[in-house]
Every structure is written in C-alpha cells, then in structure tokens.
Amino acid sequence: MGVPSIPPQPKKDIQCITIIGEIEGHFMGNPQKKATKYEHIIPMLYSVEESPETKGVLVILNTVGGDVEAGLAIAELLNSISKKVVTLVLGGSHSIGVPLATAGDYSFIAPTATMIVHPIRTNGLVIGVNETFEYFKKMQERIVQFIIRTSDIEREELAKIMHSKDELVSDVGSVLIGKEAVECGLINEVGGLKEALNKLKELIRESEENSEDSKDNK
C-alpha cells in the first residue's frame, strides 16, 4: 500500500488513501511490481464511511492503471461515499486511473503529473472476436459515462482525446500534462498537497455549515 509502519496516531478527521503502481483485480500481478489491491481499498472505504470521526478523504494517485473492473469498482465506491473526497494526481494517473482521479468531489493535478487517456485494450489471445469487441464496447461505455458524470469534460472532447493518433506511437490515446488535464475539463485545478488539503478542509467546513443550517430550519 505504500504506507510505512508507524506508531498509532491520534484520530484525525481526514483519511489519506494512496493508489499507486498497478491496480490489481482478481488475479495476482507481478510480485516485483508495486500494486494497489482493490480488496484492501474497498474495506478501507467502508471503514471511512462508518467512522464518525472521519469527515473527509484525500486520495493520492500515482498509478499506471491496471484491472478495469477493479479500478472502476474503487472509483464508484469513492464517488458514492457520503464523506467529502478530494483527489490529487502526483506522477501520473493513467488508463483506469482517469476515472479514479475524477471520482471525488474535487480534483487536483500536480504541474508535472500526467494522465494517459486511451480506449480499453487487452493482451494475449482473443477467442470470439465479435463477442469480445461487443464486450469491450460496453466496458468502454461504462468508463466514458463515469468520467463525464464525475468531471466537466464533454463526451465529444473525451472521444477526441481518447482516439487521437498523434500522441502515442503506433497506438491511440493522449498524454495530458498538468494544466492540459484542467483545460479539457478532466481535472478541476492544478495544485499540490497544500492546495488539496485546503480544499478538502473547505468542503468539510461547508458541509458542516449546511448541516447546521438544516438543523436550524427544522
């Protein structure tokens, strides 16, 4: 998980979750590679949702992508919890890392960080080309729908970026660096840890104020 063993800390109102390396799904990845296991992240998010002390989540991303189903499952869970969520892309958030970056209430990307947007692809033997193609189309649509639901990018712009033939050698897709991801509407703002934490605290404060106002109106 990339989190060192440290002495027990006092309860904090913000939980930091790191998603690094390759996102593992139902099959074990290369043990020599750094990986994020979805079976670790999902119960962690459940604990966050159930914890009365936790008011917000900061998700730090530096991932090459990985298993589509696992990545989308984590993204949907992040998007559905009641606590405020801010995401921060450091280094990169590629492939299925894109919907993970847009899954929160607000998103940041470091000036030098990258996002690689491309269609779903596979490695190895494909049995039943037509059936596999239709499955990929449906899977791709799930990802596209999630991204346009959780960011400000238009479907046409996302399709253009995703199918560009100029960015990646002998392939399709685009590499977006820092402010380019903001300009197209994928990410809300360029910034680092300080900006992300400040925004998360601001969202938590606004949520608490709205809750108090609601109680007063009742």
> What is the separation, in whole angstroms, between the first and last Cα of the chain?
44
- Measured between alpha carbons, how far is 101 from 61 in angstroms, rounded to an integer? 7
94 is known as an active-site residue: no
- Measured between alpha carbons, how far is 146 from 210 in angstroms, rounded to an integer? 27
Name the active-site residue from 93, 95, 107, 174: 95
118 is known as an active-site residue: yes
- Measured between alpha carbons, how far is 87 from 100 in angstroms, rounded to an integer? 8
Do the Cβ atoms of 148 and 175 come closer than 8 Å? no
Can you spell out the DSSP letters for 66-122? E-HHHHHHHHHHHHH-SSEEEEEEEEEE-TTHHHHHHSSSEEEE-TT-EEEE-----
Name the active-site residue from 93, 94, 107, 118: 118
In 3D, which of 164, 38, 66 has the Cα closest to residue 122?
66
The residues carrying an active-site annotation are 95, 118
